[in-house]
A and B are shown apart, each in its own frame.
Chain A
Amino acid sequence: MDQFTLNLLVVGATFVLYFGIAIWARAGSTAEFYAAGGGVHPIANGMATGADWMSAASFISMAGIIAFGGYDTSAYLMGWTGGYVLLAMLLAPYLRKFGKFTVPEFIGDRFYSGSARFIGVLCLLIISITYVIGQMSGVGVAFSRFLEVSNATGLYIGAAVVFAYAVLGGMKGITYTQVAQYIVLIIAYTIPAIFISLQLTGNPIPALGLFSNEVHTGQPLLQTLDQIVTDLGFKSYTEQSDTTLNMFLFTMSLMIGTAGLPHVIVRFFTVPKVSDARSSAGWALVFIALLYLTAPAVAAMARLNLINTFYPNGLTSAPVSMADVETKEELKWVKNWATTGLLKVTDLNGDGLIQYYNDGATALATKLADAKKAGNEAAIAEAQAAFDAKVAETAAKMAEKNPQAADWKGNELTVNNDIMVLANPEIANLPGWVIALVAAGGLAAALSTAAGLLMAISSAVSHDLIKGQLNPGISEKGELLAARISMAVAIAVATWLGLNPPGFAAQTVALAFGVAAATIFPALMMGIFSKRINAQGAIAGMLVGLIVTVVYIFLHKGWFFVADTASYSDSAPMILSIKSTSFGAVGALINFIVAFAVSKATAAPPAHVQDLVESIRIPKGAGVAQSH
């Protein structure tokens, strides 16, 4: 059986499973549509939260980012798990006790203000829609590679699938579908990791393999990796090269951003009891940790495998040739991925071999490409000279270790972060069914997150905006219809933006975390832990947090992500060494300060609101989730 048929069979089988569950669990009332009637067991809810949380970014991108970033990118591992500690202790149990369906609803009730609720909806929409775009592009990449269709077709297929089960199933369909998706994605992530860990270290548990000895050299895997990458001119894998300030703030932003993501928070509204909300956060983290403990091992091993593949006889011998890529069966993946444009091979020095190393000229290469695009001869010549000089300098330095390096004319292989996990089983020459399984897993991760996000978007629009503010008298049937229409619109918008991305998926996702950290998290936390924060304070805090964070990101990434409108760059940021992706934590701090100052200067919240705060702090008296 060829690889294409195998992919089709495995992906097809998982889809039949998801649809079967969605039809079996079709929602009847609005309560079931949003919150599965409050009747989801903590373990099932934990798995579903895991699937909801682990998106294309976790499954497809994260290990690749770590593979090329090393220790500096540990922020993703700590940030995207540590947020669950904050959720469990600072938000989840109290929001469950509150007993309503949506995050803006809590903000509206606690701050007794329609405007606060509206700002909540606005933040939720910014966060969730930017996040959906990332999922849509992930689905596009996975479908286009494995079903051998164009990126656009892949995106359309993905959009149709998401539409079908999110719109028909509602939350309950999604909860049980997401349990199935979690199982598919964790198996798909773990199996190739086990194979590769066995090949490289002989240890069947990848998380332990990372700190074991490598079988060929007999020395620790990380030490081997460090040596190889530094010999090729890359930064050390285990040493810190980012500033401590930026790494600290980036980790903090991802952590509180995680705790402030509405589609994650809403999961804790669906458990039967307050105590279940606490244990659900624990179970969710168990299922998330299974992937997150494996991810750093996948990252280091993928990086080592990639380099070993291109230098099969060691760094001082000749690397793989262009002809090998064309003819050798085990290198077929290079050609396959080259057609997607996410991997590029160019024989710069014309010797027929592929030299993969850090020529130190990445920034200069970008400048050269820009100059060529602009077409100014003098500028091209100048950029070319700068690039050549840097490359020659690196080559001379590397020639001390490797005599051939003197003839190198620049790095000849570029690999996009996002393909590392998907291509990993192919690089390691694993059996065809493993490759098909990884495709199914990547799709499960992207689709489950997209579905959860669409739920959050549709409930914000139909429940908070239409029923809460525009048309309070709307019937239950009308509300469900509005929810489904807003989902369809959100899918259309996300698909369109997935085809015409305003920037790379990773950049837009950074916006989502920054906004969640700077707006939703502080508002919820202050709403629970302080009785003194009033409507004026919360509104001012959220608005200022939102504006400073978005403006800081736009100043570095370009206004609305149009690249040439940026005034600063993340390599030379505006304030100290704080990159735009790390600014959410600063935005949150500003939100806290503004909210406290404004609340202090204005009147205390009314008595019934203070009673509400009293009541959400104790578990006693929690009923099932209620509509108005």
Chain B
Amino acid sequence: MADKSSSNAYWAANIRTIMIYLVVWFVCSFGFGILLRPMLAGIKIGGTDLGFWFAQQGSILVFLVLNFAYAARMNKLDRQYGVEE
């Protein structure tokens, strides 16, 4: 088992990463897709507005990028803090 201070630092770095990624997750789905849609109404796309696109497709694409980015970032952190398998 890794020593206590390095695993604490690793956990803190993980929490920071999660916070940042969840902000993106929230803004691109609940934000652009629902709450902020009126603000995006001016940007037209294919007969409707950008908010509709985010609600039906854009958010899903962002989720995909987030999941792979998180996996890559954590693999890096695992090595950096010496807690990899």
Q: Is the CB of A240 within 8 A of B83?
A: no
* Total CB contacts across the A-B interface at under 8 A: 145
Which of A247, A278, A292, A617 is within 8 Å of B34, CB to CB? Answer: A247
A296 and B10 in contact (CB under 8 A), knowing A275-B75, A286-B64, A620-B83?
no
A618 and B66 in contact (CB under 8 A), knowing A81-B60, A90-B18, A93-B74?
no
Report Cα–Cα, A323/B11, bound state, in Å. 70
Q: Is the CB of B35 within 8 A of A274?
A: no
Residues of the B chain whose Cβ atoms lie less than 8 Å from the Cβ of A207: 57
Query: How near does chain A come to B23, taking the closest CB pair, in angstroms?
Result: 12
Residues of the B chain whose Cβ atoms lie less than 8 Å from the Cβ of A77: 55-57, 59-60
Q: Is the CB of B55 within 8 A of A221?
A: no
- Say yes or no for A135: interface residue by CB 8 A criterion: no
Q: Is the CB of A78 within 8 A of B60?
A: yes
Per the 8 Å Cβ criterion, residues 1-33 of B in contact with A are 1-2, 7, 10-11, 14, 18, 21-22, 25, 29-30, 33
Residues of the B chain whose Cβ atoms lie less than 8 Å from the Cβ of A240: 37
- Say yes or no for A166: interface residue by CB 8 A criterion: no
Most buried by A among B29, B47, B60: B47
Q: Is the CB of A85 within 8 A of B60?
A: no
Question: What is the interface residue range for chain A against chain B?
Answer: 35 or more
Per the 8 Å Cβ criterion, residues 45-90 of A in contact with B are 71, 74, 77-78, 81-82, 84-85, 88-90
- Say yes or no for A621: interface residue by CB 8 A criterion: yes
Binary interface profile of B, 50-85, with partner A (CB < 8 Å = 1, else 0)?
A: 001101110111011011101100110010001111
Residues of the A chain whose Cβ atoms lie less than 8 Å from the Cβ of B83: 618-620
Residues of the B chain whose Cβ atoms lie less than 8 Å from the Cβ of A226: 47-48
A78 and B59 in contact (CB under 8 A), knowing A286-B64, A618-B11, A619-B84?
yes
Q: Is the CB of A82 within 8 A of B29?
A: yes
- Say yes or no for B40: interface residue by CB 8 A criterion: no
Residues of the A chain whose Cβ atoms lie less than 8 Å from the Cβ of B74: 93, 275, 278
Which of B2, B22, B35, B63 is within 8 Å of A81, CB to CB? Answer: B63
Residues of the B chain whose Cβ atoms lie less than 8 Å from the Cβ of A210: 46, 56-57
Report Cα–Cα, A279/B75, bound state, in Å. 10
Query: How near does chain A come to B41, taking the closest CB pair, in angstroms?
Result: 10
- Say yes or no for A273: interface residue by CB 8 A criterion: yes
Residues of the A chain whose Cβ atoms lie less than 8 Å from the Cβ of B61: 289, 293
9 pairs of A and B residues whose beta carbons are closest in the complex: A220-B47, A211-B46, A223-B47, A74-B55, A222-B47, A282-B67, A278-B71, A296-B56, A618-B83
- Say yes or no for A261: interface residue by CB 8 A criterion: no
Report Cα–Cα, A191/B13, bound state, in Å. 44
Residues of the B chain whose Cβ atoms lie less than 8 Å from the Cβ of A293: 57, 60-61
